């Protein structure tokens, strides 16, 4: 029986080198943070907690970013910041949980980053950050930092209620129109988050996060990205759909020709 030209073309495509390539994972950019004693002193504020950083990570090839949610004193404002204190910002050094968003001479609002790639950017509220992510069309992976226990697990019912409203109200407003993923490394916060999100019918915001394959411990200046090549290869070969990385531009470049 004669084989049609169309069938030969399909067979050729199926056996071509590109057909054997795995699907490229979505990249989630993460700002590397030093380890060890006094790590905060070496922090270069690489975290995508502001619109300038969001656009930079997107330009590097990220489809999403991992960012950091804190709460100011008594849970009065959910803000996007990673350090326990205002280290890395202008103004007197204070713990985030000890200051108000806009009141007092140590207020967080209006302070600007004083080092690193995003020097001059300010601190944004969670709602403002979500708007920037929606505008960029990016997926937001949001870590609720352990320091938020001060208000999210407060014995004062009014503080606790207000704090959770600061976290979950912006999510309720936006999760149907943009992908938002919430998580915490704190087990008590994770349990409370799960209960409250489930009660609100928003369990979808607890799933869909990336894998974190990298083996390097971040430092300043950064260790060579090549230390992660074997881990990246294993993640790609395992069929990972989403991969988080501290090396967004390098990982994006490394993927070229290895996936489609």
Distant-in-sequence, close-in-space partners of 126: CB < 8 Å, separation ≥ 6: 69, 78, 79, 80, 142, 166, 167, 170
Q: Where residue 120 sits, what CATH number does that domain have?
A: 3.20.20.190
At residue 18, the pLDDT reads: 53
Let me know if residue 19 belongs to a domain: no
In a domain, 220, yes or no: yes
* Residue 14 is assigned to a structural domain of this protein: no
Query: 234: Cβ–Cβ under 8 A, 6 or more apart, which residues?
Result: 213
Give a yes or no: residue 206 inside a domain.
Answer: yes
Q: How far is CA 74 from CA 21, 118, 159, 215, in A?
A: 51, 28, 6, 37
* Angle (nearest 5°) at CA 27 between 15 and 116: 145
Domain count for the chain? 1
Confidence (pLDDT) at 134: 98
CA–CA distances in Å: residue 165 to residues 84, 149, 193: 21, 14, 12
User: Is 13 a member of any domain?
Assistant: no
Average pLDDT of adjacent 10-residue blocks, the chain of 260 residues: 43 52 97 95 98 98 98 98 98 98 98 98 98 98 98 98 98 98 98 98 98 97 98 98 98 98
| HSE, side-chain direction, 13 A CA sphere, residue 76 | 14
Position 12 scores a pLDDT of 43
Which domain does 75 fall in, by range?
A: 25-255
- 203 is a domain residue: yes
What SS3 class is residue 184?
coil
Q: Where are the alpha helices (DSSP H) in 16-50?
A: 39-42
Distance, in Å, from the CA atom of 16 to the CA atom of 199, rounded to the nearest integer, reads 50
| Cβ neighbour number for residue 235 with a 10 Å cutoff | 22
Answer yes or no: is 172 within a domain: yes
What per-residue confidence (pLDDT) applies to 19?
A: 64
Judge whether 5 lies within some domain. Answer: no
């Amino acid at each position: 029986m004669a084989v049609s030209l169309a069938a030969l073309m399909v067979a050729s495509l199926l056996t071509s080198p590109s057909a054997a390539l795995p699907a490229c994972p979505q990249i989630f950019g993460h700002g590397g943070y030093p380890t060890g004693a006094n790590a905060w002193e070496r922090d270069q504020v690489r975290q995508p907690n502001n619109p300038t950083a969001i656009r930079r990570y997107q330009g590097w090839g990220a489809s999403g970013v991992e960012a950091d949610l804190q709460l100011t004193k008594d849970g009065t404002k959910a803000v996007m910041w990673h350090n326990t204190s205002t280290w890395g910002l202008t103004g007197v050094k204070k713990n985030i949980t000890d200051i108000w968003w806009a009141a007092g001479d140590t207020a967080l609002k209006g302070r600007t980053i004083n080092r690193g790639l995003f020097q001059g950017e300010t601190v944004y509220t969670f709602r403002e950050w979500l708007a920037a992510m929606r505008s960029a069309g990016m997926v937001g992976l949001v870590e609720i930092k352990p320091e938020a226990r001060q208000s999210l697990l407060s014995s004062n019912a009014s503080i606790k209620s207000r704090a959770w409203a600061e976290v979950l109200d912006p999510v309720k407003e936006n999760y149907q129109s943009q992908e938002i993923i919430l998580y915490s490394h704190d087990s008590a916060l994770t349990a409370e988050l799960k209960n409250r999100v489930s009660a609100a019918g928003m369990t979808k915001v607890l799933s869909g996060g990336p894998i974190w394959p990298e083996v390097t411990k971040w430092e300043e200046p950064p260790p060579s990205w090549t230390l992660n090549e074997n881990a990246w290869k294993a993640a790609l070969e395992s069929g990972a759909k989403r991969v988080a990385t501290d090396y967004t531009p390098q990982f994006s470049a490394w993927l070229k020709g290895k996936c489609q």
